[in-house]
Every structure is written in C-alpha cells, then in structure tokens.
C-alpha cells in the first residue's frame, strides 16, 4: 500500500512500480469509477492488444488486408469515443 498526494490541479502520480507492472505509460487511457468512497482506476486495453487472443483457432492463417483495416478503424473509433467521455 502506498500513499499519493493530489495536486492543486487534481492530479495524482501512479507509483512507478505499479506503472511498470500494469504496463501503464505516457498516453495510456484510464477509466476512473467510483465504488462507494473508493476510486477504481482501470487501464483501457487497446483493441490491437487484444489481437491474437484467438490465435490457436486461426493458427497458420493470416488476417486479410480488409480485416486489418477494420481493426485499425475500430481502434480509432474506440480512441475517439474515449476522448468524448
């Protein structure tokens, strides 16, 4: 357990060891939710990070260029929606 301090601008610093463990780096999007009197901070996975979760099913196959383009569009749309939240 660590203690962090909120700045006058409402900012906090996530301790370096936690950032490394959770692979949080500059530009990583985080979702903040309230659970009672607690805040929960969750890294938002990029759709590109989820690519390959079904690799055993498609072993030996390569995605089509059309599918790759769709993945890029989905990632862009998802990033845009996060900016709007």
| Span 22-50, pLDDT tens digits | 889 998 889 899 999 999 998 887 666 66
The domain limits of the chain are 1-44, 45-85
Q: What is the mean pLDDT of residues 71-78?
A: 85
Q: In the chain, which ranges are continuous DSSP H helix? A: 16-22, 47-50, 65-84
Sign of CA dihedral 85, 24, 76, 50: negative
CB 22 within 8 A of CB 43: yes
Whether 70 shows a pLDDT value over 80: the answer reads: yes
Determine the topology of domain 1-44 in CATH. Answer: Pemi-like Protein 1; Chain: D (2.10.260)
Instruction: Evaluate if pTM is beyond 0.85.
Output: no
Q: Which residue has the tokens 């989905």?
A: 74
């Amino acid at each position: 357990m660590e203690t962090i301090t909120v700045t006058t601008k409402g900012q906090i610093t996530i301790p370096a060891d936690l950032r490394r463990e959770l692979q949080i780096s500059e530009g990583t999007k985080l979702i903040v939710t309230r659970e009672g009197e607690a805040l929960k901070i969750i890294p938002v996975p990029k759709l590109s990070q989820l690519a390959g979760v079904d690799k055993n099913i498609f072993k030996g196959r390569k995605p089509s260029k059309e599918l790759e383009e769709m993945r890029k569009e989905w990632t862009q749309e998802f990033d845009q929606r996060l900016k709007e939240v």
